[in-house]
Amino acid sequence: MSKAARFDYGWVVVGAGALMTCVGFGTMLSLAVFLQPISDAMGWSRAGVSAAATLDFLCMGFAAFAWGALSDRFGTRIVVLAGSLLLGLGLVTASQAQTLWQFQLCFGVLIGIAAGSFYAPMMALASAWIDKHRSLAVALVSAGMGVSPVTVAPSASWLITAYDWRFAMLVIGIAAWALLIPASFLVRPAPQGTNVAIPTAGTAPQAEWTVAQALRTPQFITLALAHFACCAAHSGPIFHMVSYAMVCGIAPLTAVTVYSLAGFSGLGGRLLLGVLADRLGAKPVLVGGLLVQALSIATYLAVAQLGEFYALSVVFGLAYGGVMPLYAVLVREFFGARTMGTVFGAVSAFASLGMALGPWAGGYVFDTFHGYTWLHAGSFAIGLAAVAVALSFSTKRQPSLDLGRAAA
């Protein structure tokens, strides 16, 4: 296969990854659309139905590490194919659930595990296929997450209105199979030449890390903590964005547009910061994006008018969307390609725990203080902590690793 052909097909893999993250995360996040119809039809509490979302993030986090390890050992195609089958199964069986625990098991556990199979393995594979524009490639795979709120959720809403929640969830499950199973067969391993790390000044490794070595490094701990703090900071404000706008006197339907605008901006942020990272480096762009994210969260303490919400949504969306793919770039640059699926899967597990924390914390704060002031203040502090942790990330290799390998 010629170099040009390898380059071109790499973007096919990127496109397949974007579709998988869109459908995988879109179906998971569509629970917000199903929440009221399911609660009304089944008589289940909203807290009980919402618990499926918490289970999704927790299961996705733990599964991401396992899926990443499996992709390193057996290849990405079999992993995403298994995840595609499991995602459709979770939706189809959840549509037929008769009790709350059955719904929580099918939607919260099965779909969470399935969603974890797409993000880390496809980010790792995209970074192996695309070298020159690596940050842009992983940003495009991640962009599927930004597209999902304006594709899967509206489709679910229309189907629920036209039929009922069971039919809507069943159709989405079948559609997930129809889209993702064929896409899985487009996934190919990167040619051997593209997996060789290219040395750059103090960043790319001279020799590949083992998983045991990588997970013991300060660099892994730093990236995991930064990703956790990043997601813990923005997940609460994002999840409670509509509710906070309504508290400020904005009409419910208009408040939804504030959330949608942030989602659109997140898509643009992934592309913009991906391009900047290719030119300036992933670490400085990550630190800058995290700082803008923290300042945006603090600004929520001062906004009250619709125009202010719209302006803040654009900036906040650019920041939180743009920083997400950069962790994968740093993992690839520092640890290399051979174990990236496992290592980035472990980093993503910490991120999922952060995502699970924010919505619960926001609900607790509102129930306790009848407002969101302490949510935004606390999220701002966590956001600043993410900046500090990211700044401490060192791209210098440990000399002991190279000496140990040389001696061996």
Rounded CA-CA distance 134/329 in Å is 7
182 and 253 both lie in a single domain? no
Exposed (0-12), middle (13-18) or buried (19+): which is 308, by Cβ within 10 Å? middle
Among 190, 220, 238, give the residue marking a domain's end: 190
Among 190, 220, 243, give the residue marking a domain's end: 190
Which of 94, 108, 79, 73 shows the shortest CA–CA distance to 20? 79
Question: Where is mean pLDDT largest: 24-28, 39-43, 52-56, 303-307?
Answer: 303-307
1 and 103 both lie in a single domain? yes
288 and 183 both lie in a single domain? no
Which token pair is 138? 């992983």
| Mean pLDDT along residues 248-259 | 80
- Residue 200 belongs to a domain: no
- Residue 199 belongs to a domain: no
255 and 389 both lie in a single domain? yes
230 and 125 both lie in a single domain? no
Rounded CA-CA distance 379/372 in Å is 11
Cβ density class 351-384: b for 16+ within 10 Å, e for less: bbbbbbbbbbbbbebbeeeeebeebbebbbebbb
120 and 3 both lie in a single domain? yes
Rounded CA-CA distance 343/215 in Å is 7
| Mean pLDDT along residues 303-315 | 93
The yes-or-no verdict on residue 147 having pLDDT over 80 is no
Q: What's residue 205's pLDDT? A: 45
Higher per-residue pLDDT: 402 or 403: 402
218 and 282 both lie in a single domain? yes
225 and 81 both lie in a single domain? no
Split at pLDDT 50, 70, 90, the class of 184 is very high
Angle value at C-alpha 378, between 311 and 245, nearest 5 degrees: 35
Question: Which CATH number fits the domain that encloses residue 300?
Answer: 1.20.1250.20
Domain that holds residue 183: 1-190
111 and 173 both lie in a single domain? yes
- Residue 335 belongs to a domain: yes
DSSP for residue 191: P
142 and 283 both lie in a single domain? no
Which token pair is 59? 């299961």
Among 156, 190, 224, give the residue marking a domain's end: 190
Q: For 62-94, what is each residue's pLDDT tens digit?
A: 888 888 888 888 888 999 999 999 999 999 999
Q: What's residue 195's pLDDT? A: 46
Rounded CA-CA distance 86/90 in Å is 6
223 and 253 both lie in a single domain? yes
Contact (Cβ atoms closer than 8 angstroms) between residue 339 and residue 216: no
- Residue 402 belongs to a domain: no
Q: Name the pTM for this structure.
A: 0.75
383 and 250 both lie in a single domain? yes
Rounded CA-CA distance 92/86 in Å is 10
Mean pLDDT of the chain: 83
Q: Please state the φ and ψ torsions of residue 362, each to the nearest 5 degrees.
A: -65, -40
- Residue 406 belongs to a domain: no
Number of domains in the chain: 2
